[in-house]
Structure 1
Amino acid sequence: MIIGVGIDVCDVSRFALTIQRRPGLVKRLFTSREAERPTASLAARFAAKEALAKALGAPSGLSWLDAEIETDEVGKPSLRITGTVADRAAALGVARIHVSLSHDAGIASAFVICED
């Protein structure tokens, strides 16, 4: 059964300007492995974290670093959750999280489904 669904989009150019003006933001939003990725990929990962928060009911107190978007050897993304995000997911009974990322034409997007 679906527990929550979230979607988010991010303008890649605007995101790039934001992290240029506030470079410390990268360390607050992304794990060290995520931070190595190109800007469009970071924008998609930011959108995924926003979509995940929405799928979990957008509670306050979630740490951005407690959700990491990983990719397997063929490029399929998945979410690894820990800490505050894992606690919220467990409280809701989330057993599986599905994530889809895209970036094209200057827009990054992400879709997340949480299910039991």
Structure 2
Amino acid sequence: MPVVGVGIDVVPVERFAAVLRRTPALAARLFTAAERSTPAGAPRTAESLAARFAAKEALAKALGAGGGMSWIDAELLVDDAGRPRLAIRGTVQARADSLGVGRLHVSLSHDGGVAAATVIAES
């Protein structure tokens, strides 16, 4: 499968956490309810949210998007083995469809106060 786009993003965890503390409503604009809490219902850590935000930014870069996509139209999910995947719908799905994207790959990491994500979009 040919690569349509690649995106990478890094997010300083403490700076991101400070923004969320200053603007509590921002979390609901950036993340779905499932992304904001663990399967047990506990709030996600700052590292986890920063990595999810990095994944959404990396996805936007992989799709070459300059705007017009809703943050919550991309959702980072984790399977039973702990492997992350992106579920897309709405505005993000429309952009992916317009590029012929059929498959997305995502990798996340956080260490040393920085969260990072890479997304590869394939046709």
Q: TM-score, normalised by structure 1?
A: 0.98
Distance 2:13 2:122 in 1: 29
Tell me the equivalent position of 1:96. Answer: 103
How far is 1:25 from its partner? 0.4
Larger CA deviation: 36-45 vs 3-12: 36-45
Distance 2:12 2:6 in 1: 21
What is the aligned-residue RMSD (CA, Å)? 0.6
Tell me the equivalent position of 2:75. Answer: 68
Distance 1:8 1:79 in 2: 15
Equivalent residue of 2:29, what SS? helix
Q: How many residues align?
A: 116
Unaligned runs of 5+ in 1: none
Q: TM-score, normalised by structure 2?
A: 0.93
Tell me the equivalent position of 2:27. Answer: 26
Unaligned runs of 5+ in 2: 38-43
Runs (4+) off by over 6 Å? none
| Aligned-residue identity in percent | 60
Distance 1:58 1:21 in 2: 27
Distance 1:74 1:102 in 2: 16
